[in-house]
Structure 1
Amino acid sequence: MGHRDWLAANQVGVYAVAVAAAVGVGLGRPELAPAFERLVEPVLVVLLYATFLEVPFVRLREAFADRRFVAAALGLNFLVVPVVVWALTRFLSVDPVVLVGVFMVLLTPCIDYVIAFTELAGGDSERVTATTPALMLLQLLLLPAYLWLFMGRRVAAAVDPGPFVEAFVAFIAVPLALAWLTEAWADRSDRGNRWQAAMGWLPVPAMAATLLVVIASQLPRVRDSFDQIAAVVPVYVAFLLVMPVLARVAAGLLGMAVGEGRALVFTSVTRNSLVVLPLALALPAGYELAPAVVVTQTLVELCGMVALTRVVPGWLVADGSAPLSVPGVTRRD
């Protein structure tokens, strides 16, 4: 078995080691957190570059034309998710500043490592990639509206859209362009082809590195405030349990193929915590707890994603050649 096959077969174990190491560093050497925080963006860029290399651009162009998937992803993220978040937080008795952090992170769909997790679960990652521009634009426009609806005008006005734009350029545009250039190089050069083949082993180590630097950089921040924000952890866990099921039902009603169904699950459940964190840090005085609330979601979600890369293909959206369906429901095309 080659290195690439071994990594793919043992990826969950690799991630568990990375998480354990990150927890050890975050708790034992909290003074190293700023150094790890500086590594988050470059590690994410490498991860997404490696992920985009796994997606042939011919298939990516085809995915843009799949209006059914795009409509389902947007509908779940911007119509269903707000209702679910509102329901999950109705009986949450916490400081309103904590609620701001919860809403900011749960109402914004992920545009970066969701692609890698979808790929690792055997999902149709090019369809997730194709939806990222629309997801990015709509969350940029709708987050202030949702915050105004849930929290009032003052909170909505405090959100700066700049970090969203910067994140789209850094995490999507740059690695996607580099992957396209690499693919073009590989088509014209043996050296480029060897480079692209060598990069095939990179996604699992890059994901492990992402888990390591994110948790190690942010865990000290959470530890300092955990007694005040522990109440939101059940909300984050419940979101991880509810949204995959709702996405699976939607995929069944639409008769999606297995790969599409897995992609729909991951784009519906994964949140934009790494992009929202700068937004939370930019909030005015009085919102100091919001970043810790966002970071807590990051920690819960990363652990949940490792589990979902096994649960989704193994049970929720298992392999099969026929389109997905919902028991007891007759689908009409």
Structure 2
Amino acid sequence: MDAKEWLRRHQVLVYAVAVALAVVIGVGRPMWATPIEGLINPVLAVLLYVTFLEIPFVRLRRAFTNGRFIGAALGLNFLVVPVVVWGLTRVLPSDRVVLVGVLMVLLTPCIDYVITFTDLADGDAEQLTATTPALMLVQLLLLPVYLWLFVGPEIAAVIEAGPFIEAFVLIIALPLGLAWLTEAGAERSGRVAGWQETLGWFPVPMMGVTLFVVIASQLPRVQNAFDQIVVVVPVYVAFLFVMPLLGRLVSGLFGMDVGERRALVFTSVTRNSLVVLPLGLALPAGYELVPAIIVTQTLVELSGMVVLTRVVPAVLVPAPPADDSQPTIPSGE
């Protein structure tokens, strides 16, 4: 068994070790949180780069024309999710600050590490990659609308395009471009091909590094306000349970294949917390608790994703039996 296959089979162990180390650092060395936080975007960029290297670009070009999947992903994230979020937030206390934090993070679909989680679950990562520009643009346009509807116009007015555009360029477009250059170079150079082959075992370790960096840097922020934000944890957990089921249901209605179904499940449940965090930090006085509420979702979600990378392919969207995948040869009778 090569290193890549061993890591895939033992990925949960790798993630568990990363999370345990992050908790030790986050609790024992909270003063390290700020410098570690500066590593989040670079680490995410490397994670997406090694993930994109797994995607043949001929399939990625084809994915951009799959209107059925893109339409389903947009409908699920911007029509179904807001209804679910509205229902789940009815159980929260009547605290405007808590509501704003929960809405900001749950109404924005992830555009970065969701691709890696989808790939680790043998989902259609290239299709999800092709959908990220639409997900980014539509959430940028609709987040102020939803905040205006659910909270009021004064909160909707502070939403800015900057964090979304910066995240897309640095975490999606740049790694994607570098991966394309690497793939093109591998066709002409044995050295580049060897580099690409070596990086094939990086996705799982890099996801472990990502978990460590995010949790170790954000845990102190949550820990300092835990008694105030503990009320949002059940909402985040419920979202983790409800959305995969709805994603599976919608993918079945659209008649998607197994890879597309898994990808739709992950885009339905994974949220854009690391991108909306700067928006939370930029809110006016009185909303200082919002960043901690957003980060709490990150911690809950990452724990859930470690489980879902196993549960989705094994239970929720299993591969069809081998016989079902074979074409039927008509008899001559």
Q: Hey, what does 1:232 align to over in structure 2?
A: 232
Residues 85-124 of structure 1: matches in 2 within 5 Å?
85-124=85-124
Q: Hey, what does 1:50 align to over in structure 2?
A: 50
The 3-state SS of whatever aligns with 1:209 is helix
Cα RMSD, aligned residues only? 1.0
Q: Hey, what does 1:77 align to over in structure 2?
A: 77
d(CA) in 1 for partners of 2:225, 2:317: 37
**Most deviating of 228-237 and 314-323:** 314-323
8 Å CA contact 1:94, 1:231 repeated in 2:
no
d(CA) in 2 for partners of 1:82, 1:22: 32
Residues 218-257 of structure 1: matches in 2 within 5 Å?
218-257=218-257
Q: Hey, what does 1:330 align to over in structure 2?
A: none
d(CA) in 1 for partners of 2:89, 2:208: 32
**What residue identity is the alignment partner of 1:209?**
V
Residues 77-226 of structure 1: matches in 2 within 5 Å?
77-226=77-226
Instruction: Write out per-residue CA displacement over residues 44-89 of structure 1, whole angstroms, 9 at most, x where no aligned residue.
Output: 0000000000001000011111111011000000000000000000
Shift of 1:90: 1.1
8 Å CA contact 1:160, 1:282 repeated in 2:
no
Cα gap change, 1:94 to 1:227, in 2 (>3 Å): farther
**What residue identity is the alignment partner of 2:75?**
G
Q: Hey, what does 1:266 align to over in structure 2?
A: 266
Q: Hey, what does 1:275 align to over in structure 2?
A: 275
Instruction: Write out per-residue CA displacement over residues 103-159 of structure 1, whole angstroms, 9 at most, x where no aligned residue.
Output: 000000000000000000010000100000000000010000000000000010122
Residues 301-312 of structure 1: matches in 2 within 5 Å?
301-312=301-312
Structure 1: stretches of 5+ with no match in the other structure: 324-333
Q: Hey, what does 1:32 align to over in structure 2?
A: 32
8 Å CA contact 1:105, 1:294 repeated in 2:
yes
d(CA) in 1 for partners of 2:115, 2:106: 18
d(CA) in 2 for partners of 1:93, 1:145: 22
The 3-state SS of whatever aligns with 1:86 is helix
d(CA) in 1 for partners of 2:245, 2:226: 29
8 Å CA contact 1:101, 1:280 repeated in 2:
yes
Instruction: Write out per-residue CA displacement over residues 220-261 of structure 1, whole angstroms, 9 at most, x where no aligned residue.
Output: 000111101100000000000000000101111111111110
d(CA) in 1 for partners of 2:316, 2:116: 19
Instruction: Write out per-residue CA displacement over residues 240-289 of structure 1, whole angstroms, 9 at most, x where no aligned residue.
Output: 00000001011111111111100000011100001011111111111100
d(CA) in 2 for partners of 1:37, 1:95: 28
Shift of 1:91: 2.3
8 Å CA contact 1:273, 1:297 repeated in 2:
yes
Runs (4+) off by over 3 Å: none
The 3-state SS of whatever aligns with 2:241 is helix
d(CA) in 1 for partners of 2:192, 2:222: 43
Instruction: Write out per-residue CA displacement over residues 169-190 of structure 1, whole angstroms, 9 at most, x where no aligned residue.
Output: 1111100000000001001111
d(CA) in 2 for partners of 1:238, 1:131: 25
Structure 2: stretches of 5+ with no match in the other structure: 326-333
d(CA) in 2 for partners of 1:219, 1:228: 15
The size of the alignment, in residue pairs, is: 323
The 3-state SS of whatever aligns with 1:287 is coil
Shift of 1:94: 4.5
TM-score by length of 2: 0.96
d(CA) in 2 for partners of 1:259, 1:164: 27
Shift of 1:98: 1.2
The 3-state SS of whatever aligns with 1:110 is coil
8 Å CA contact 1:123, 1:261 repeated in 2:
yes
d(CA) in 1 for partners of 2:299, 2:92: 20
Query: In percent, how many aligned pairs have the same letter?
Result: 70
Q: Hey, what does 1:331 align to over in structure 2?
A: none
**What residue identity is the alignment partner of 1:22?**
A
**What residue identity is the alignment partner of 2:42?**
P
8 Å CA contact 1:21, 1:212 repeated in 2:
yes
d(CA) in 2 for partners of 1:207, 1:307: 14
d(CA) in 1 for partners of 2:3, 2:94: 48
